[in-house]
Structure 1
Amino acid sequence: MKGLSSWKRSHDTRLDDYIRKEANHESLRELHPNVSITNMVAVQLNHFICGGAAVAVSISHKLVDGFTMVTFINQWAKVTCGGSPMKPYFLTPPTSYKNVELPKVTISHESKYVTKSFVFPNSKINVLKEKVMNSMGITLSRVEVFTSLLFKCSVDAATTKSGLFKPSILVHPINMRNKIFKNDPEKVAGNILSSVAVKMDDSREITLNEVVAKLRRGKMEAGEIRDVQEIGEKYASMVPMLIGDPSVQVYWTTSFCWFPLYEVDFGWGKPVQVKYVIPEVDFKNLVLMDTPDKDGIEVTIRLPEEEMLILQQDKELLAFIDIKSKV
């Protein structure tokens, strides 16, 4: 495949050192390849002295969204086991993307950013979801409720650290395939997503119900998009708000919940653990994934170190964390 790089690496450690003992995210980066302008898809096969293996895949966001990435990995695994892959439909990016300035990728010099993972069991998440649905009188998903809680607590941590509230934006992506393509939407490859930008201009707005309400309204508006061209127009109009004002803090979120990541089988059996490695850049990032047993959500968060220390002491958030998990 043009633009694909791959290599193998042997480690003198056990796979358990990375997944069973909650290795920090800096060590997980050792297992992960980097993409570049010439190699936009990179694969690294890691072997361990215990006989375990870890397959790490990086794909440029210029090519695909999360749905396409997961579909690619599943279809690749299917082929290795003798199956026939589906024939994808590759979509040309909308013309509206052409002159859009993207956020610049930078490494922090003023603040040290750190990445941590937290596990939240469904039993506790569902209690929160029921409480919010009862108070608002609407049906919600656990991802909507929990993304809103994470955003609220992260903004609270930033406010505590600086001593003053800054306007804050929650960016939440939405897979648009099922809304735009009626026939075989799962076969459409590319960036077929829209984003909701929930902006809070006043500290009095940062309540869980208010964040959830704005997120739900934004998703309903996105549901009115009719084609890929409108996706591009919406994104182009949103970008200036996200990168034009340094006084506004932006939280980028992603949810892989219900994606078939734990169904991937290269012939060795299904994964023991799937990890998402957040890029080492100056973005405030919140990523949600199912736990291996699908009985909870593992959240990976990247924030400035001082804000992370405050977040880890947030009593509202601690009430929903699995007490057995390490943070």
Structure 2
Amino acid sequence: MFYPLAGQIQENSFIDCNDSGVEFVEAQVHARLSDVIREPNMAELNKFLAVNPTGVGIATLLAVQINFFDCGGIAIGVCLSHKIADGTSLVAFINAWAATCRGEVKIRQPYFDLAHLFPPRDLSGFSFTPNDGITKEKIMTKRFIFDKEKLAMLKKEAAAASGDGSQVKNPTRVEAVSAFIWKKFMEVAKNKMDVKKMYVAVHAVNLRPRTSPPLSEQAFGNCWRPSFAFISTSGDEKNGCPNVLPVLRSSISKINSDYIKQVQNGEYLNHLSKSKDMFMKGDIELCNFSSWSRFPVYEVDYGWGRPCWVCTTTLPFKNVVILMSTPCGDGIEAWVNMLEEDISAFRS
């Protein structure tokens, strides 16, 4: 079904569907799975993966490592190249794989027709490279858990934060957590006297439900685009904290049918290139969010039950936040990648 994953990347521009296969590793872990889940060591999680997830120049599209623990527990580490697919497609593949293991007959089939909607473009004039954003600075990853009660409090605070008539009365849990974390990043920058002209929050937005008509989640590929929320350091602030929630919601709402038309005709590339040049000048403090909270990762069942915990790993990118659902489904885990020197200030 997912035959392109057995191919190889050629010239960093296309996939040769040569059926060369995927990387599959079995590993014995001399530990108890419960200990890893109870107190996850962020620096150790990459050992459960078959390849370095941010390795540049790796031709393999899919790498899987099955980890067998001494207690009998099993952890499956999956790496899928972002050059060919996004998180939605990754989870679709994993669920289809699990359904096959269970012996299911009716499995939702992927389709690979996104190029008809979003034709390939000549990127020779653009300076995008696979390692854009990777920093050599010391990055640490911290996991912050927002349970149901904490989320309710954050949503209430976020809804009441603005006093200019632009209140968001019904913030989602992702909006509330994103606003909270973004303001934390702003506070860290200000405490360091790191003067910036602009603070920018970037959200990865799935385009599938925003096309007309909406696309199926089985549409395989990179069907997402970033939204950009801007806060000027010269803007009005309340008690030193800007009202970020309406700005966040407005930026995401702009990823609509009109924007998708720009993506289809290639106009967005010029805007993206200008944005990158602006970011590289250093006058902007970026905070990048990717929400996996709606991915059906806790529905994955290979035949021995659903997972007790699903997680990501550390990333060598500054100010990158991955939002995931908690196992019970009513909380959010925020995996925050930031400079080591900023962690203590962020937690205070």
Query: Matches of 2:78 and 2:31 in 1, distance apart?
Result: 21
Matches within 5 A, 1:136-147: 136-147=167-178
- Structure ranking higher in helix proportion: 1
Task: Report percent identity of matched pairs.
Answer: 28
Q: Provide the residue aligned with 2:48 in structure 1.
A: 31
Query: Of the candidates 294, 304, 314, which is equivalent to residue 258 of structure 1?
Result: 294
Query: Matches of 2:153 and 2:94 in 1, distance apart?
Result: 34
Query: Matches of 2:329 and 2:336 in 1, distance apart?
Result: 19
Q: Provide the residue aligned with 1:157 in structure 2.
A: 188
Query: Matches of 1:270 and 1:81 in 2, distance apart?
Result: 12
Matches within 5 A, 1:9-48: 9-20=27-38, 22-34=39-51, 37-48=58-69
Query: Matches of 1:228 and 1:272 in 2, distance apart?
Result: 41
Q: Provide the residue aligned with 1:53 in structure 2.
A: 74
Structure 1 29/97 Cα, relative in aligned 2: closer, same or farther at 3 Å?
farther
Matches within 5 A, 1:63-142: 63-83=84-104, 84-90=106-112, 91-92=114-115, 94-96=119-121, 98-99=123-124, 100-102=126-128, 104-105=131-132, 108-109=135-136, 111-134=137-160, 135=162, 136-142=167-173
Structure 1 296/183 Cα, relative in aligned 2: closer, same or farther at 3 Å?
closer
Give the letter aligned to residue 164 of structure 1.
D
Task: Give the deviation of 1:31 after TM superposition.
Answer: 0.5
Structure 1 232/195 Cα, relative in aligned 2: closer, same or farther at 3 Å?
farther
- Structure 1 gap segments, 5+ residues each: 314-327
- Please give the secondary structure, in 1, of the residue aligned with 2:311: coil
Task: Give the deviation of 1:234 after TM superposition.
Answer: 2.6
Give the letter aligned to residue 287 of structure 1.
I
- Please give the secondary structure, in 2, of the residue aligned with 1:44: strand
Q: CA RMSD in A?
A: 2.4
1:31–1:46 contact (8 Å) kept in structure 2: yes
1:152–1:206 contact (8 Å) kept in structure 2: no
Segment drifting more, 231-240 vs 45-54:
231-240
Query: Matches of 1:126 and 1:203 in 2, distance apart?
Result: 31
Task: Give the deviation of 1:232 after TM superposition.
Answer: 5.2
Give the letter aligned to residue 214 of structure 1.
V
Query: Matches of 2:121 and 2:235 in 1, distance apart?
Result: 36
Query: Matches of 1:231 and 1:260 in 2, distance apart?
Result: 32
Task: Give the deviation of 1:246 after TM superposition.
Answer: 2.6
Give the letter aligned to residue 262 of structure 1.
Y
Q: TM-score, normalised by structure 1?
A: 0.86
Say whether residues 1:302 and 2:333 are aligned partners: no
Say whether residues 1:240 and 2:258 are aligned partners: no
Query: Matches of 2:134 and 2:25 in 1, distance apart?
Result: 26
Provide, for residues 67-93 of structure 1, a one-character-per-residue CA deviation record: whole Å limited to 9, x for no partner: 111111111111111123222121225
Structure 1 300/226 Cα, relative in aligned 2: closer, same or farther at 3 Å?
closer
Structure 1 189/38 Cα, relative in aligned 2: closer, same or farther at 3 Å?
same
Structure 1 235/128 Cα, relative in aligned 2: closer, same or farther at 3 Å?
farther
Query: Matches of 1:230 and 1:292 in 2, distance apart?
Result: 37
Give the letter aligned to residue 271 of structure 2.
S
1:153–1:311 contact (8 Å) kept in structure 2: yes
Query: Of the candidates 204, 209, 212, which is equivalent to residue 173 of structure 1?
Result: 204
Provide, for residues 139-166 of structure 1, a one-character-per-residue CA deviation record: whole Å limited to 9, x for no partner: 32111121111011022113213x2332
Task: Give the deviation of 1:312 after TM superposition.
Answer: 1.0
Structure 1 72/226 Cα, relative in aligned 2: closer, same or farther at 3 Å?
same
Task: Give the deviation of 1:241 after TM superposition.
Answer: 1.9
Task: Give the deviation of 1:102 after TM superposition.
Answer: 2.8
- Please give the secondary structure, in 2, of the residue aligned with 1:46: strand
Task: Give the deviation of 1:230 after TM superposition.
Answer: 3.8
1:96–1:233 contact (8 Å) kept in structure 2: no
Structure 1 286/17 Cα, relative in aligned 2: closer, same or farther at 3 Å?
same
Provide, for residues 160-188 of structure 1, a one-character-per-residue CA deviation record: whole Å limited to 9, x for no partner: 13x23323221101111112153652221
Task: Give the deviation of 1:106 after TM superposition.
Answer: 6.7
Structure 1 275/116 Cα, relative in aligned 2: closer, same or farther at 3 Å?
same
Query: Of the candidates 194, 214, 228, which is equivalent to residue 247 of structure 2?
Result: 214
2:288–2:320 contact (8 Å) kept in structure 1: yes
Structure 1 150/94 Cα, relative in aligned 2: closer, same or farther at 3 Å?
farther
2:147–2:331 contact (8 Å) kept in structure 1: yes
Structure 1 150/106 Cα, relative in aligned 2: closer, same or farther at 3 Å?
closer
2:64–2:77 contact (8 Å) kept in structure 1: yes
